[in-house]
Structure formats: C-alpha cells, structure tokens
Amino acid sequence: DAFAHHPELRSLILNPDGSAMRSFDPHLIAAARPELGLSAFLTPPHEREAARQQALKRVDGDLWVFAYGSLMWDPAFRFVELRRARVASHARRFILKDSFGARGTRERPGLQAALDEGRGCDGLVFRIKASDVAAETEILWRREMAGPAYVPSFVTADTVSGPVAALAFVAAPMSPAIVRDIPRDLQVRYIATGAGFFGSSLDYLTNIAAHFTALGIEDGEVESLLRETVAFK
C-alpha cells in the first residue's frame, strides 16, 4: 500500500492513472494557444531529454521525488510509497511568476512556489520503483522542465524512516520566471487574481495548506499568505 505511512492523504492525492498531467505536452498547448506566448519560453524537447538523461545517471534503482507544490496532490507519475519529508537545505518560496497561461497570464500573472535556498521545506517524497523510472520521469520532465524555471537537483530529504536522496526541482538562478525580490503586495495580488489552464493560483496555495493540515504541519508563511490572499479577494 503506497499510503501505508499516510492513509490520511489517500483522498487528497489524485490517482496518477486519472491525471490529465500524464499526457501533458506544453508544446501542444503552445501550438493551440499562440496568444499565450508560451512557445518562446519552452525548452526544446531534445534539450529537455538530454537534461533528463544526465540526471538519471545518478539513479541506480528506485527513485525518490521530493514534492513541495502541485506534485503533492497531483504527482501524475506512478509511485509505490510516499512519506512526509523535510529538506533542511532549502525553503519553499512563492517566487515563480506565471504569465504563460498555467496559473496566470500576461495581463493577470499568477504565482507558484519554487524550492530555493533557505531554512527548511516540508513536503512529501514519492518513491518510483526502478522498473518505472524511465517512463515515469519522462512524464515528470515534460511538466517540471517545460521551461527554464527549474534545475533538477538531488537533495537530502529527512523522513521518519531515515533520510533519502531525492530528486527535486530547484529554482534556476537566472530564470526570468523566478522573481526573488517580489514584494508581498504583488505576491498576494498575483495569487488572488492569477488563473489559467491548470487552475487558479489561489487553488494552488489552498491545496498546499490542505495537505499541511492533514499532516499536522504548521507553516507560518503558507498560512499567512493564504489569510492575506483571502482577505484581498
């Protein structure tokens, strides 16, 4: 049972086989919605695949993936185990400005989280069995590495069963989508008003808060940002 450690999350995580993200292809969306300007942002498929192959050179056997945002409720890849986890070397920061249609547009940008250097980040780790790593990471890469926002990295994730080396998607140092100095009022406005083909930025933040409630995790940044955004609405 993949949910043996956390049966309370069974109803909060979408079955991968029912996830639309399994067939997600950003290039198809860019072709169908040219007004979004998405094609200029996307990483060419051959470059994305080369980055995946490079990262997988470090994998020998099962693969753990650290989830700190939408992967927590809609991983889309098939997994055989999940655990609550904490990465001490990084923090969840709401610095990923979305203006290409996912959870915001150029007229009304949205905001999502990115993993950046900091004092710790709570989330989940999912274990993909060795025989599924090749196929499932292809799905994962199309989603997380669609553009230059993230860098695939391996981090130490602490769990109740001990530390694991986990793949994580970390904020890229020079990405134009990463706005590290974004002021609080814009964070709140972007989350309150941003929406796109993945849903709203507020739904994104609310889902993170719901998972933390189920896990008994207190995260002052998530809680205060949600309060301020709801008040703004």
Each residue of 101-127: pLDDT tens digit? 999 999 999 999 999 999 999 999 999
pTM to 2 decimal places = 0.95
Each residue of 32-67: pLDDT tens digit? 999 998 998 999 999 999 999 999 999 999 999 999
pLDDT at 209 over 90: yes
Mean pLDDT of 8-31: 95
Amino acid letter for position 145: M
Q: Minimal CA–CA distance to 62: which of 89, 87, 82, 86?
A: 82
Q: How many CB atoms lie within 10 A of CB 54?
A: 10
Mean pLDDT of 204-229: 94
